[in-house]
Amino acid sequence: MIGKLKGIVDSYGEDYIILDVGGVGYQVHASARTLQTLPSPGEAATLSIETYVREDQIKLFGFISDLEREWFRLLQTVQGVGAKVALSVLGTLKPSELATAIATRDRAAVSRSPGVGPKVAERIVTELKDKAPKFTSVDPAVVQLSGALEERRAPKPVSDAVSALVNLGYGQPQAATAIAAAVRNAGEGADAATLIRQGLKELAK
């Protein structure tokens, strides 16, 4: 199993790089974002590698970091997500952005990836929601609130305040983040009007 490759960039293909390691050229498939961050041909590069062994082929996938490779593996635990879709998601969102999108149930962000429709985005957000928080720097209160809104168990003043901010044109994740901060400042017994005012102050910062 190959876990890491360090060598000289030989050339680029549409979705892969040829990495020269001691005179051997390895074809390594990577996301568009990873390919864009790698240096020019002739320069040194290091990639974390995921090795796929099939009956008819051995395929290498390369990542800038071990964390990105971890997300590649994690995404493929979701039904309907293979290597191609996982690379597409990681080509659109950085690991931290993906973790935040999943933790705050932001399906729209996930579905921006080419080849990822609403159903697949829904599955990614739902099936990985318990795994994302440990990868993300999102305030746990925001994760908790997003989950409560999703499952319709948030207190009415809180859900009303989030709805009001969404109606004003803010995205659901933004609104949830602002109201989570408002609840922390105003207390859990605050009414919707107070939470909306506090939430707008947070968004204005």
CATH code for the domain in which residue 29 is found: 2.40.50.140
Q: Are residues 52 and 74 in the same domain?
A: no
Distance CA 56, CA 146 (A): 44
pTM: 0.67
Share of the chain above pLDDT 70, in %: 89
Q: Say yes or no: 169 and 200 in one domain.
A: yes
Question: Domain span at residue 82?
Answer: 67-135
72 with 58, same domain: the answer is no
Helix (H) or strand (E) holding 17: strand 16-21
Q: What is the C-alpha end-to-end distance of the chain, expressed in Å? A: 49
Q: Which residues does 64 contact at the CB level (< 8 Å), separation at least 6?
A: 34, 37, 47, 48
Say which amino acid occupies 91.
Answer: G
72 and 131 in one domain? Answer: yes
Domain boundary among 135, 157, 173: 135
Specify whether 131 is located in the same domain as 164: no
Overall number of domains in the chain: 3
Residue range 26-30: average pLDDT? 96
Q: Which long-range contacts (CB under 8 A, 24 or more apart) does 48-57 make?
A: 48/3, 48/4, 49/2, 49/3, 49/4, 49/5, 51/1, 51/2, 51/3, 52/83
Looking at 103, 135, 167, the residue that finishes a domain is 135
Tokens of 101: 């999108």
pLDDT above 90 (res 174):
no
pLDDT of residue 36: 92
Among 45-49, 138-142, 159-163, 174-178, which stretch is predicted with the lowest mean pLDDT?
138-142
- Say what the pLDDT of residue 40 is: 94
Q: 120 near 85, Cβ under 8 Å?
A: yes
Last residue of a domain, one of 105, 135, 165: 135
Q: Taking Cα atoms as reference points, which of 69, 78, 68, 71 lies closest to residue 127?
A: 78
Write the CATH number for 87. Answer: 1.10.150.20
- The answer to whether residues 186 and 151 belong to one domain is yes
Residues 117 and 73 occupy one common structural domain: yes
Please indicate, yes or no, whether residues 95 and 120 belong to a single structural domain of this protein: yes
pLDDT in tens, 34-77: 999 999 999 999 999 999 888 888 899 999 988 889 899 999 99
Q: Is 123 exposed, middle or buried (0-12, 13-18, 19+ CB in 10 A)?
A: middle
Same domain, 124 and 98: yes
**Radius of gyration of the chain measured on its C-alpha atoms:** 21
Same domain? 43 vs 57: yes
Residues 59 and 72 in one domain: no
Dihedral of CA 190/173/125/61: which sign?
A: negative
Q: Rounded to an integer, what distance in angstroms lies between the CA atom of residue 96 and that of residue 150?
A: 21
Whether 57 and 97 share a structural domain: no
Residue 103's pLDDT is: 78
**CA torsion through residues 129, 37, 45, 13, sign:** positive
Q: How many CA atoms lie within 13 A of 29 on its CB side?
A: 15
